[in-house]
Amino acid sequence: MGKGRAPCCDQSKVKRGPWSPKEDLTLITFIQKHGHHNWRSLPKLAGLMRCGKSCRLRWINYLRPDVKRGNFSKEEEGAIIHLHQTLGNKWSKIASYLPGRTDNEIKNVWNTHLKKRLFPNSSRSSSYSSISCPQDRTTEANQNKNYAVVQEEGNSRDNESQDSPSSSHLHGKNMHKKPELHEANELQEIQLLLDLDDFDDITSAFLQTTETLLPVQPLDSLLQTHTLTGFHNTGGATQEATELQPFDHSQPEIPCGFEETNGEFDLWSQLVESNSPTPSPTSEEFDEWLSFMDNQTYFDDFTLLGEVCL
DNA sequence: AAGGGTGCCAACCGCGTTTAG
DNA sequence: GCTAAACGCGGTTGGCACCCT
């Protein structure tokens, strides 16, 4: 075959299903060192039995350094509602207005929470596209009414939404509470990971660089300064999305405080490039590291890992 | 305590677009 | 300019955890 690109990955040899911690670490380590210029060849080069598509998805949605985990704030929910009204199911477009949030995450929040509040009677199967098209002017008036109502509800339940376990959005529930059944296996996996030099590099490099990192700017303030002008005006539900500015990762107000390289925040590169001497970690720094690793990867049990380290 | 129902999320599927050759 | 693979995106669903009875 002279024309076209090389053949696609061998589907029969790729692993599917949930990613293991070791696979995550392999992917992170590889991208840290080599970037991700070619997703198709990446799994082979990295030694992963995964399709490049799967690697890309895993990286973009969970392993990227600038992915924000945790509950959606009322501002974010309001932004999603507003943007969905104007953009429809253009999840990637909507995500571009919400720094640190992925299209998949936003889509899930919409389908599991926001849509239900907007259209309580809508069924799962019928709701995807039927309400999403902003060009459907026949129902626009009713939709606007519902959007406004939901934004009001979002504001009124504000205080409870952040902390209450009964919050409508328990984002990351599964990420931070693993089945006890798996704890033993996970511990074994973590112990295996400790044998990897790269992991040690990342850990020590983090300790080396914590003092030099820029302060983290709270997302809410970013949202206010970047994207949310007019969001608090529920009457402005019909505002055009063009009034909002997509989050530009090249702008200086970077939520995670890391330098940008090759169009993305290469956290890991920056970590290992630090040349400063490694200080002995204090307990405070250690806690910070645990929190850091917890936030930056899906390794929700880094506390457990910390115990292993100690 | 057990079993069924429901909610939620991670990941896969498939299609349209982009791009390499 | 054409072809085919890679990429990117939106839709969908499998499976786990929690809740209710």
Mean pLDDT: which of A66-75, A141-150, A153-162, A195-204 is highest?
Answer: A66-75
Q: Which residues touch strand B (CB under 7 A)?
A: A 2-5, 16-19, 53-54, 57-58, 61-62, 104-105, 107-109, 112-113, 116, 168-175, 298
Residue A154: pLDDT band by 50, 70, 90 thresholds?
Answer: very low
Instruction: State pLDDT tens for residues A156-192.
Output: 444 433 333 333 333 333 333 333 333 334 434 434 4
Q: Calculate mean pLDDT across residues A120-137.
A: 41
Query: Is residue A201 one of the residues assigned to a domain?
Result: yes
Domain that holds residue A37: 13-63
Say yes or no: A32 and A120 in one domain: no
- Quick one: CA torsion of A42, A44, A49, A51, rounded to 10 degrees? 50
**Rounded distance, CA A43 to CA A56, Å?**
10
Say yes or no: A125 and A154 in one domain: yes
Say yes or no: A269 and A191 in one domain: yes
Instruction: Report which of A56, A101, A62 is spatially closest to residue A295, judged by C-alpha positions.
Output: A62
Say yes or no: A54 and A130 in one domain: no
Q: Which of residues 132-151 of A touch strand C (CB under 7 A)?
A: 132
Query: Is residue A237 one of the residues assigned to a domain?
Result: no
Q: Is the pLDDT score of A214 beyond 70? A: no
Say yes or no: A81 and A56 in one domain: no
Q: Is the pLDDT score of A240 beyond 60? A: no
Look at chain A and report how many structural domains it folds into.
3
Q: Given A63, A82, A98, which residue is the final one in a domain?
A: A63
A173 CA to B9 C1' in angstroms comes to 9
Say yes or no: A114 and A193 in one domain: no
Query: Is residue A186 one of the residues assigned to a domain?
Result: yes
Query: Is residue A176 one of the residues assigned to a domain?
Result: no
Q: Is the pLDDT score of A203 beyond 80? A: no
> Is the C-beta of residue A5 closer than 7 Å to nucleic acid chain C?
yes
**Which residue would you say has higher pLDDT here, A79 or A180?**
A79
Q: E strand or H helix at A150, and its extent? A: helix A140-156
**Which residue would you say has higher pLDDT here, A211 or A57?**
A57
Say yes or no: A136 and A198 in one domain: no
Say yes or no: A117 and A36 in one domain: no
The whole model's pTM is what? 0.59
* Residue A3 CA neighbour count, 13 Å, CB half: 0
Say yes or no: A88 and A127 in one domain: yes
Q: E strand or H helix at A219, and its extent? A: helix A219-226
Query: Is residue A114 one of the residues assigned to a domain?
Result: yes
Query: Is residue A82 one of the residues assigned to a domain?
Result: yes
CATH value at residue A40:
1.10.10.60
Q: Do A103 and A91 touch, CB atoms closer than 8 A?
A: yes
Say yes or no: A195 and A305 in one domain: yes
Q: Is the pLDDT score of A41 beyond 60? A: yes
Query: Is residue A174 one of the residues assigned to a domain?
Result: no
Q: Is the pLDDT score of A238 beyond 60? A: no
Say yes or no: A267 and A152 in one domain: no
Query: Is residue A110 one of the residues assigned to a domain?
Result: yes
Say yes or no: A105 and A143 in one domain: yes
Report chain B positions within 7 A of protein CB atoms: 7-14, 19-21
Q: Calculate mean pLDDT across residues A35-50.
A: 84
Give A276's contacts (C-beta < 8 A, 6+ positions apart).
Answer: A208, A209, A212
